[in-house]
Amino acid sequence: MTRIGSSDLSVFPLSLGGNVFGWTADRDASFAVLDAFVAGGGDFIDTADGYSAWVEGNSGGESETIIGEWLASRRPEGLVVATKVSQHPQFRGLSAANVRRAAEASLDRLGVDAIDLYYAHFDDETVPLEETVAAFGQLVEDGLVRNIAVSNYSADRIRAWIEIARSTGVALPVAVQPHYNLVHRNEVEETIVPVATEFGLSLIPYYALASGFLTGKYRSTDATGQSSPRASGAAKYATEHGLRIIDALEEIGGAHGASIAATALAWLRAQPAVVAPIASARTAEQVEDLLVGGRLELAADEVVRLRSVSEWTPAQV
């Protein structure tokens, strides 16, 4: 178990992503995935109020609704649920009034008394940061939210949030959720990791498997022919550089009897400030690799080797 920042939340070091619930996983498939995750020792679920509004016929909140129905059906003990605000079609942005309404709507869909970890999903510079910070602080004060966090914020804006929270005496963020994985490292390691380390924030990276590329499924430099809804996201990483990373993951994972995906997750867990990478599964059968990724411990030289092979410069293709 790992602790999230200065919070009282201790979680299994792998978070199950709920972005596929209501998208590539229907209600029954989502229930099966959630069942398998908890049965295997998982206890940390990540979602957002905007999941999955991009699907034709959806209106947003589908993932939260499915998770809420599953929670009501299964009543699991000790589960930590994180969700986010700013992208639901009816609750866009981070004004104080919107944050309050969105949080109440998420609580209703999830069927819980309080949100364990509540993120500002994307920065909203049209709203004074002081207003957003105060709104999140009020949610904690009122007991609707237990802990707050930020996602997709720059280091400067994270620092500004903390300064405002300290000066006004409201709850401080405990975590930051960046886009971070073996093929997307530079910006996070150069800017976000230092500020997280300085302020004791935990990193909970999303796209931990690079839209599926780090599963090893896309082994050709031409992955555009894949029919999966997520294939286009993975295809951009299927370069010679990306495939060298896959080869190294396969070799290192093989020494542990682990998959490419599990090895990629284990590498991410070994990075400074990271407590629980986020990865999703469309089927219950895919969950085991994620759970292994939350337990596998790589040797120091293996971590260094993957860091070396994944170093990127503009000259690499």
Q: What is the mean pLDDT of residues 148-177?
A: 98
- Domain assignment of residue 195, yes or no: yes
List the one residue out of 279, 150, 267 whose CA is nearest residue 208: 279
- At 1 the pLDDT is 86
Domain presence at residue 223: no
User: Residue 28: is it exposed, middle or buried by C-beta count within 10 angstroms (0-12/13-18/19+)?
Assistant: exposed
Average confidence (pLDDT) over 288-305: 98
* Amino acid 317: pLDDT: 45
pLDDT tens digits, one per residue of 249-259: 999 999 999 99
Per-residue confidence at 170, pLDDT binned at 50, 70, 90? Answer: very high
Examine the pLDDT at 40 and tell me if it is beyond 70.
yes
Tell whether the model's pLDDT for residue 236 goes beyond 90.
no
Give the per-residue pLDDT at 313: 57
The total domain count for the chain is 1
pLDDT for 221 equals 60
d(CA 92, CA 16): 24
Taking only the tens place, the pLDDT of each residue in 66-104 is 999 999 999 999 999 999 999 999 999 999 999 999 999
Q: What pLDDT score does 234 carry?
A: 81
Burial class (CB in 10 A: 0-12, 13-18, 19+), 157: middle
Tokens, residue 191: 């800017």
Rounded average pLDDT over 48-65: 97
Does the pLDDT at position 315 exceed 50?
A: no
What local confidence, expressed as pLDDT, does residue 235 receive?
Answer: 79
Distance CA 128, CA 125 (A): 7
- DSSP secondary-structure letter at 8? S
C-alpha Rg value of the chain to the nearest Å: 19
d(CA 106, CA 81): 11
CATH assignment at residue 166: 3.20.20.100
Q: What pLDDT is stored for residue 188 in this prediction?
A: 97
For the chain, what is the mean pLDDT? 95
What single-letter amino acid sits at 208? Answer: A
- How would you class 222 by CB atoms within 10 Å of its CB: exposed for 0-12, middle for 13-18, buried for 19 or more? exposed
Is 174 in a helix, a strand, or coil? strand
Instruction: Give percent of the chain with pLDDT exceeding 70.
Output: 94
Which one has a higher pLDDT value, 223 or 237? 237
Q: Who's near 87: CB < 8 A, 6+ residues apart?
A: 48, 49, 50, 53, 60, 121, 122
- Whole-number pLDDT of residue 219: 80
Q: Would you tell me the crossing angle of helices 155-168 and 129-141 to the nearest 10 degrees? A: 60
pLDDT over threshold 90, residue 167 = yes
Rounded mean pLDDT, 199-219 = 95
pLDDT surpassing 60 at residue 227: no
Inside any domain, residue 152:
yes
Residue with the two structure tokens 């300290």: 166
Cα–Cα distance measured from residue 212 to residue 235, given in angstroms and rounded to the nearest whole number: 9
Output the six-digit token pair for 169: 């005496």
What angle, rounded to 10 degrees, do the helices at 96-110 and 62-74 form?
Answer: 40
Residue 30 lies in a domain: yes
Question: Residue 25 is part of which domain span?
Answer: 2-213+271-297
pLDDT in tens, 182-194: 999 999 999 999 9
- Kindly state whether residue 127 falls inside one of the protein's structural domains: yes
pTM over 0.85: yes
User: Under a CB-based contact definition with an 8 Å cutoff, are residues 240 and 231 in contact?
Assistant: no
In a domain, 292, yes or no: yes
Task: Judge whether 196 lies within some domain.
Answer: yes
- Write down the pLDDT at residue 59: 95
The answer to the question of residue 261 being in a domain is no
Residue 223, pLDDT above cutoff 60: no
